[in-house]
Amino acid sequence: MANEQIIEKIYELIAPLNRKGIELKPDVTFASDLELDSLTVMDLVADIEDEFDIVLPLNLLPELETIEQVADAVEKIINKG
């Protein structure tokens, strides 16, 4: 379970993109729930990278479907770095 602060930060970054006003929860998915297209996801990934000062490799992205999965990945990368 990812750290609360990381999840909260990610909620903040998603908020402006949440055009359908979905309630943000850890198991919300980017593609089916938030309906973000691949270009928006790309910008979001860049924002997340800059926020946490990390690199989220492109290779990881296909496996990150929910907010929680992204938060877990971010946490892992921060702890490793």
Partner 1 sequence: MDLLDKFDSTVALRDSLPFEKADPFKVVMEEIISETEAVIDGRHTILAGTNNYMGMTFNEEAVAAAKEALDNFGTGTTGSRVLNGTYGGHKALEATIAEFYGMEHCMVFSTGYQANLGMISALGGKDDFVIIDADSHASIYDGCSMGNATIVRFRHNDVENMERRLKRLPEDAGKLLVVEGIYSMLGDAAPLKELLEVAKKYGCMTLVDEAHSMGFCGENGRGIAEQLGVEHLVDFYVGTFSKSVGTVGGFAVSSHPKFDVLRLVSRPYIFTASLPPSVVASATKSIEAIKRSGNRRAHLWENARRLHAGLKKAGFHLATPDAQSPIIAVHLPDPMLGTRFWEQLLLEGVYANMAAPPATPSGVFLMRVSVCAQHTTEQIDEIITRFNRTAEKVGLALNP
Q: How far is the CB of 33 from partner 1 (least distance, A)?
A: 18
79, 78, 75: which is closest to 8 by C-alpha? 75
Contact 11, 67 (CB under 8 A): yes
**H helices within the chain, ranges in order?**
4-14, 38-52, 67-80
Looking at the Cβ atoms of 1 and 39, the one nearer to partner 1 is 39
Q: How far is the CB of 71 from partner 1 (least distance, A)?
A: 19
Q: How far is the CB of 58 from partner 1 (least distance, A)?
A: 4
Binding site for partner 1 (CB under 8 A): 37-39, 42, 46, 49-50, 53-55, 57-59, 81
